[in-house]
């Protein structure tokens, strides 16, 4: 299986604790994450083993992404294992302090591309749109953090 890594970062004018809490407020991710709603399926959503489902799409057509929390190191890092048929790999939210009231938020996706060689061949076409979606979401996230909670 072919793998790719995409990382985007943004500086946020909020404490590291606020940035982490905002990023992992699953019920409110739809307020900043492009076309995505998230719900906790099992556990509390804030501990290893918790499972979530994110549905990303437009106009009733979307992709469900089931995930399991594999690392929970609040307020610095949360790692999720993508368990779906389409989306597989690891998603990472990491917070790096810049000061008491500022942090850098880093979103990394270590994806296992589906469809073998076809997926690998198609990734150069999909990557710009995927990266644009992450960047758009992170711009909104920075604004979301300023007013959080």
- The CATH number assigned to the domain holding 93 equals 3.30.530.20
The total domain count for the chain is: 1
Q: What tokens were used for 135?
A: 């960047």
What confidence score (pLDDT) does residue 120 get? 82
Inform me whether the pLDDT recorded for 31 exceeds 90. Answer: yes
DSSP run (H or E) holding 120:
helix 116-146
Structural domain of residue 59, as residue ranges?
3-146
Q: How is 25-91 classified by DSSP, letter by letter?
A: -GGGGGGTSTTEEEEEEES-SSSTT-EEEEEEEETTEEEEEEEEEEEEETTTEEEEEEESSS-EEEE
Question: What's the whole-number average pLDDT of the chain?
Answer: 94
Inform me whether the pLDDT recorded for 60 exceeds 80. Answer: no
């Amino acid at each position: 299986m072919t793998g790719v890594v995409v990382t985007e970062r943004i500086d946020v004018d909020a404490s590291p604790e606020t940035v982490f809490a905002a990023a992992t407020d699953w019920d409110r991710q739809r307020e900043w994450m492009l076309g995505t709603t998230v719900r906790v399926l099992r556990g509390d959503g804030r501990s290893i083993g918790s499972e979530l489902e994110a549905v990303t799409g437009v106009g009733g057509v979307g992709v469900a992404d089931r995930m399991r929390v594999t690392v929970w190191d609040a307020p610095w890092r949360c790692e999720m294992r993508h368990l779906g048929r389409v989306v597989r790999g690891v998603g990472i939210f990491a917070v790096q302090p810049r000061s008491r009231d500022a942090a850098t938020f880093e979103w990394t996706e270590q994806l296992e591309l589906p469809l073998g060689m076809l997926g690998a061949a198609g990734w150069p076409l999909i990557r710009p749109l995927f990266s644009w979606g992450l960047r758009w979401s992170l711009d909104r996230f920075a604004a979301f953090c300023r007013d959080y909670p």
